[in-house]
Amino acid sequence: MLPFAKSMDTVGFFADTPNDMLALWDAMGYSFRSAEDFPLGVCDPLPEVEPSMSTAFQDAVLRLRETGLVLRPVNIAAMLALLAEANQTVLFYEGARFHEERYRQYGDRLGVLADLVRIGLRMPIKQHEDAARYIAECRTHMTEIYRLTPVILVPAATGPAPLGLTYTGDWRMNSPWTALGTPAISLPMPVGASLPLGLQLTADRGEDARVLKMAARIQRALDGE
């Protein structure tokens, strides 16, 4: 594993289903909460996403309401957009300094990483400090929101995965949660024969077990079980 930006680097796991992830969580020796009932937060208005994602997300929310889950709107879209920008600033600033020596050695052979280093090295320290300060303020604000809605639903991406292997897609739906340091999990939404689209669940820092248990419950609801 190669470090990139020390304050943002995050380890994640992949599994076929939320229950598989719960089994992995248990195998790693972590504990679970007992069954909980609480209102879920729904990002409303939605962040800027493609029409297919907006439709799938709204359909999933409607299906969850029909199963009896309580969902409440949370107005965080504007904050998430600013967090994505702050996250990028921190990534570029810290990543450029970690990879500077590698860039001096290999130059443009690093491809997109070379561009990142060039941009990041031009960033003044105040820009990094301002971004880090904003992220810290948002962590405090989100903790208050999570007290009322302990799990929040947001799109997992702006739209379907792009064609080809040269680009992994827009990261704006993921980077705010990386910046905040909160656990997040993505579940497939029912989209018929269309390209997959994900529903993202987030919870406050340290509440990994809570978001995993709710993910399993929501996946059963989306699957009609």
215 within a domain of the structure (yes/no): yes
Domain of 22, CATH number, reads 3.90.1300.10
Lay out the sheet containing 151-155: strands in order across. Answer: 71-74, 40-43, 151-155, 198-203, 184-188
Total count of domains within the chain: 1
39 within a domain of the structure (yes/no): yes
Containing domain of residue 198, as a range? 18-76+134-222
150 within a domain of the structure (yes/no): yes
65 within a domain of the structure (yes/no): yes
87 within a domain of the structure (yes/no): no
52 within a domain of the structure (yes/no): yes
Reduced to 3 states (helix: H, G, I; strand: E, B; else coil), residue 30 is coil
97 within a domain of the structure (yes/no): no
200 within a domain of the structure (yes/no): yes
Helices (H), 72-207: 77-98, 100-106, 112-121, 125-148, 175-180
Contacts of 31 (CB under 8 A, 6+ apart): 209
Model confidence pLDDT, tens digit, residues 34-67: 778 999 999 999 999 999 999 999 999 999 999 9
Model confidence pLDDT, tens digit, residues 88-100: 999 999 999 999 9
Model confidence pLDDT, tens digit, residues 15-26: 999 999 999 999
The model's pTM is 0.93
3-state helix, strand, coil in the chain (%, to 5): 50, 10, 40
